[in-house]
Amino acid sequence: MSDDKSETLRRRLEGAQIDQRMLARFDLFNEFRAAMKRKDKAAQLDIARRLKLNASDILAAKAAATAAIASGLEDAMATSDPDERTAKLLKTYELSVKTKFWAYAALGDIEAGNAAAMQTEAVVKALDAIPPGRRSALAALLDNPDVGVRVDAAADLKDVMPDRVIPILRQINKEEGASSVGFTAMQALWPDTGSEPDGKASATKP
């Protein structure tokens, strides 16, 4: 990659919702490339060490997020009071959705995003299992400041309260465009959008 193309790509990454650890990784690879051109072996070894640490930090962050979601779900399921369980499930839902879009958009990690999506589905099933069904409690998240949380909550409520959530989904689809969040809105709206999605949101990166 030429220096001009590399600089252009970095500016694009800075403007995107990319995790700073991924941006640092991009910079390290550029440093490594420059060190190779200089035939600077010492610099190459140092950059390789920092790349390894960077990769470890990213893996640790993903593992911590996954563990926090699992712990939140386990704690909720161990709670007997239905109202308290619902409240805990909503917090876990919010965390799992944020983790999903963080993985897709900020890390470009489809596998981690899909894993978080499965945890989100488990939370929804747990809400449905609370008599007589507590999925409608997700409506409390429709005003969440995080657009990813709003779009997932709206998508999961489409069959429960379509009149309320379809306008939300349409607005997010219009504003977010070709992103993981925008695709989630489009997928939830189909066939209302008039075109079938090419695949699942979990298989699409921004």
What is d(CA 200, CA 192) in angstroms, rounded to the nearest whole number? 16
Burial of 67 (0-12, 13-18, 19+ CB in 10 A): exposed
Q: Maximum CA pair distance of the chain?
A: 68
Residue 164 carries which side chain, given as an amino acid letter? R
At 121-158, the pLDDT tens digits run 999 999 999 999 999 999 999 999 999 999 999 999 99
How many helices and strands in the chain, by DSSP H and E?
A: 8, 0
pLDDT of residue 18: 63
At 69-78, the pLDDT tens digits run 999 999 999 9
Q: What is the CATH number of the domain that holds 8?
A: 1.25.40.70
Domain span including residue 70: 3-203
At 160-204, the pLDDT tens digits run 999 999 999 999 999 998 888 999 999 999 876 444 444 444 333
What is d(CA 85, CA 78) in angstroms, rounded to the nearest whole number? 8
Total Cβ atoms within 10 A of residue 29: 14
pTM of the model: 0.77
Residue 13 in this model has a pLDDT that exceeds 80: no
Task: Kindly report the average pLDDT of the chain as a whole number.
Answer: 86
What is d(CA 157, CA 9) in angstroms, rounded to the nearest whole number? 38
Instruction: Tell me which DSSP letter residue 102 carries.
Output: I
Number of independent structural domains in the chain:
1
At 92-103, the pLDDT tens digits run 999 999 999 998
pLDDT of residue 192: 62
